[in-house]
Amino acid sequence: MYSKLPNLVFAFHGCDKSTFDDVIFEHKTLMPSNNSYDWLGNGIYFWESSLQRAQEWSEEQVARKKYTHPAVIGAVIDLGYCLNLADSAFFPILEFGYNWLNRIACDEGKQIPINRYGDDNVLRELDCAVIEQVHEINIFRDMKSFDSVRGLFIEGAEIYEGSGFRRKTHIQICIRNPNCIKGYFNPLIEDARYPLP
């Protein structure tokens, strides 16, 4: 009853300048990610309300030689029917998806994927498989499909010694239904002459 999120959120997509130009100037759409290690399953990824984190991520991709020039696209998003993993009310759905995935793997004599690579488990093949299994269960049971998935991630180094806060902590959004994206924009730089409302 109380799990509905606000109607619209601002979110930011880190990308290469070529993608920025295609979306902002040529009115093309962002393409969904379908990697087996995507943290929230398959879809179009955004950083919720964090222009800075999106910018940092795109700069990291330049350093890894995946992008040439860092850029960020802003978006106005209606999360719609959201699998909100920042709300513990949705954890039983996730647990059910894991159990179903595990049962299928056992029946087929296979291992389920694992999350791996570093303290932050940046390659989240298990989480991706579980979330994709949740979506498949909804289809199998002829239930309403989730439009989006939202997760809170505690990530990165401590901000100060002994801190429970981490430098890369963020809320990430994965959009499965592209109709949730109401518009794209070029984020503005704050005008320091005026206070923020």
The predicted model scores a pTM of 0.90
The DSSP element (H or E) to which 121 belongs, if any, is: none
Domain range list for the chain? 9-185
Cα-Cα-Cα-Cα dihedral of 34, 37, 41, 47, to 10°?
-100
**Which of helix, strand or coil describes residue 186?**
coil
Percentages of the chain per state (helix, strand, coil), in multiples of 5: 30, 25, 45
9-185 under CATH 3.30.70, yes or no: no
- Average pLDDT over every residue of 6-18: 93
Per-residue pLDDT tens digits for 63-93: 999 999 999 999 999 999 999 999 999 999 9
Quick one: pLDDT at residue 1?
A: 53
62 within 8 A of 70, measured Cβ to Cβ:
yes
